[in-house]
Amino acid sequence: MKRASMQNADEILGGTFLEVRAKLLEVAATLDRIERAENQLDAESSKLRAKLDQAIHILLSSGGDRAERLQRLFSRDYEDQWRSDFGL
């Protein structure tokens, strides 16, 4: 018996397609604006842009752990002294 909370792949895609399409268009438009900008990226911005390229590479890869890999890409490494660093 199929659980009521389980959706099949067609239902997931059908229910999220427009939202995901809009997000992808937003990413594409942002990248277009960056490339059309009059200035070149500074060193820090170039690192951020490279992270976006890595993220796109992850999205294009296969596997059921893309969200986890993206989260790790955009997360800080764990540091034991984080409490003192943030004054906690």
pLDDT along the chain (88 residues), means of 10: 74 96 98 95 96 97 96 91 86
Q: Which residue, among 54, 51, 66, has the nearest Cα to 20 in the 3D structure?
A: 66
What's the angle, vertex CA 63, arms to CA 23 and CA 49, rounded to 5?
Answer: 45
pLDDT at 2: 54
In this structure, is residue 3 part of a structural domain?
no
With contact defined as beta carbons under 8 Å apart, do 29 and 14 qualify?
no
Domain match, 47 and 69 both: yes
Domain match, 13 and 27 both: yes
Domain match, 23 and 48 both: no
pLDDT at 57: 98
CA–CA separation, 70 vs 47, rounded Å?
16
Domain count, the chain: 2
Helix (H, G, I), strand (E, B) or coil at 38: coil
Domain match, 45 and 70 both: yes
In this structure, is residue 85 part of a structural domain?
no
pLDDT at 78: 85
pLDDT at 3: 57
Q: Which domain holds residue 24?
A: 8-38
